Amino acid sequence: MAKINLNMERCKGCGLCIGACPIDNLRMSEELNSKGYPFAEVIDKDKCTGCALCCRMCPDVAIEIEK
**What is the distance between the alpha carbons of residues 36 and 48, in angstroms, rounded to a whole number?**
27
Q: How far is the CB of 3 from ligand SF4 (least distance, A)?
A: 10
Instruction: Write out the E strands in the chain.
Output: 3-6, 26-32, 38-42, 63-66
Question: For residues 25-64, which are near ligand SF4 according to CB under 6 A?
Answer: 25-26, 39-40, 42, 48-54, 57-58, 60, 62-63
Q: Cα–chain-centroid distance for residue 42?
A: 6
From the list 14, 33, 36, 67, which residue makes contact with ligand SF4 (rule: CB under 6 A)?
Answer: 14
**What is the distance between the alpha carbons of residues 66 and 5, in angstroms, rounded to a whole number?**
8
Binding site for ligand SF4 (CB under 6 A): 4, 11-17, 20-21, 23, 25-26, 39-40, 42, 48-54, 57-58, 60, 62-63, 65
